[in-house]
Structure 1
Amino acid sequence: MPLKIALTKGRVERQVLPLLEAAGIDCSLLKQKNRKLIINTSDGNFQFILAKGPDVTTYLNAGAVDVGIVGSDILTEQRNQQAELLDLQVGCCQFVLASTNNFNLNQPGRKVIGTKYPLITQRYFETLGRDVEIIKIEGSVELAPLIGLADAIVDITETGSTLRENNLYVYDYLDLVSTRLVANRMSLKQHAAEIFTLVDQLAEVVQLTTDQRQNQGSGVK
């Protein structure tokens, strides 16, 4: 039986594929998937299920997959109950509080905050001792303060370019976000050897990649 891995499709998928290949996993069929959503590796050791990020945790919780690869933002927002095993250190970005240039959090009045992440947003404002109204937005969160729907937004950003292009300013930095490898707790008992072998292989690749980045940053050749 192959190890079933729910992989967040899109940007996470593209960033994780090189790590999987460097760990010795044949990803050739995954690269040539076309519109297929379930892909088996040629050696039969792994089965990749391509899914949207929020669905990865759903599959894990239901026991439909053994392992999930998904952003820590989703794990936190959905109160992950499974076993987080490895930070893959890709897909790195950060939660920010952002708004127009006339925003002032300290002005009197209850602020309205737009976000895709109501739980994370609520926890953040609780640490500030502030009571806010949270509006959940599924699409372009940046629109909320621009059209008067919200006073500010809490969202994730990688480079800040989308915020700048829409004349929004960062007022505070929240948690960092990266892609994590998570295992279903029951699968962790039933397929411990296979899962921990995968973790060890990926951990070695992540460490090597981290060392290379640090060496490049310090000018070491």
Structure 2
Amino acid sequence: MSALTIAMPKGRIFNEAIEMLRSAGYDLPEDFDLSRKLLAKAPAENMTFILAKPSDVPVYVEHGVADVGIAGKDVLLEENRNVYEVLDLLISRCHLSVAGLPGATPDLFAPKIATKYPRIASEFFREQGEQVEIIKLNGSIELAPMVGLAERIVDIVSTGRTLKENGLVEMQHIRDITSRLIVNPVSYRLKDDAIRHLTERLKTVVEKEGS
């Protein structure tokens, strides 16, 4: 079986994906979860893992540095990279929402929207027929309405706790988000057997856990 390089984001998705791989029968090192390396190997499975920022995972896969990757649907929509999305892993569930301060009156002309997801936000409001000004931020999105930088935000919501703690409320649900298995188009052809084998084993876990 061909060697595979897999790009994965650190954090919640990484932890859930590793457990899914183990459930699929892959022999991964016991201390793998605790690794702080940027590269980690699973010699028994002929696999190398690239540990990256979530937004960088599709980049590594698109350019062929990684054969496959695991990325949130939010990242895939925002990055719009040339990769194949082959399986919904149904892990790291959350959703994208519009949020803001309760009772706030938006600017009637092009209200400001702060977000890490300018592409997704622009498309959403365009579909709503609403003209807005998008302000891209890289962190602490919840701060924007609190200090008057923006009337609303577009961000990922998991439990809603962070919004509540900052006095914000959800206003519109954009879409549900889960993590997906993605593949480099060239690797999909050259390493077809290994990638199909990985996909089928993970699909079995998804179906078992979903039943």
- If the TM-score is normalised by the length of the shorter chain, which range does it land in? over 0.9
Alignment match, 1:190:
190
In the alignment, structure 2 segments of 5+ residues that lack a partner are: none
- Displacement of 1:80 in angstroms is 2.7
Letter matched to residue 173 of structure 2: Y
Q: Does structure 1 residue 202 correspond to structure 2 residue 202?
A: yes
CA distance in 2, matches of 1:72, 1:85: 12
| Equivalent pair of 1:6/1:59 in contact (CA under 8 Å) | yes
Alignment match, 1:216:
none
CA distance in 2, matches of 1:186, 1:102: 51
Cα deviation, 1:94-141, whole Å, max 9, x if unaligned, reads 011100012245x62220000000000000000111110000010110
Alignment match, 2:134:
134
- Displacement of 1:49 in angstroms is 1.0
Counterpart secondary structure, 1:197: helix
Stretch deviating more after TM superposition (10-19 or 115-124): 10-19
| Equivalent pair of 1:29/1:40 in contact (CA under 8 Å) | no
Letter matched to residue 160 of structure 1: G
Listed as ranges, the matches of 1:10-159 within 5 Å are 10-28=11-29, 31=32, 34-104=35-105, 108-159=108-159
Q: Does structure 1 residue 7 correspond to structure 2 residue 12?
A: no
RMSD: 1.4
- Displacement of 1:30 in angstroms is 5.7
Letter matched to residue 13 of structure 2: V
Cα deviation, 1:130-156, whole Å, max 9, x if unaligned, reads 110000010110000000000000001
Counterpart secondary structure, 1:130: coil
Letter matched to residue 17 of structure 2: V
Cα deviation, 1:51-80, whole Å, max 9, x if unaligned, reads 111111111111111001111101000113
Aligned pairs, how many? 210
Letter matched to residue 72 of structure 2: G
Stretch deviating more after TM superposition (74-83 or 141-150): 74-83
Counterpart secondary structure, 1:81: coil
- Displacement of 1:37 in angstroms is 1.7
Letter matched to residue 208 of structure 1: K
CA distance in 2, matches of 1:169, 1:34: 37
CA distance in 2, matches of 1:57, 1:64: 10
- Displacement of 1:11 in angstroms is 1.1
CA distance in 2, matches of 1:83, 1:34: 28
Counterpart secondary structure, 2:103: coil
Closer, same or farther in 2 for the Cα pair 1:141/1:85, shift >3 Å?
Answer: same
Counterpart secondary structure, 1:28: coil
Stretch deviating more after TM superposition (146-155 or 25-34): 25-34
Q: TM-score, normalised by structure 1?
A: 0.91
CA distance in 1, matches of 2:161, 2:89: 24
Q: TM-score, normalised by structure 2?
A: 0.95
| Equivalent pair of 1:33/1:39 in contact (CA under 8 Å) | no
Counterpart secondary structure, 1:6: strand
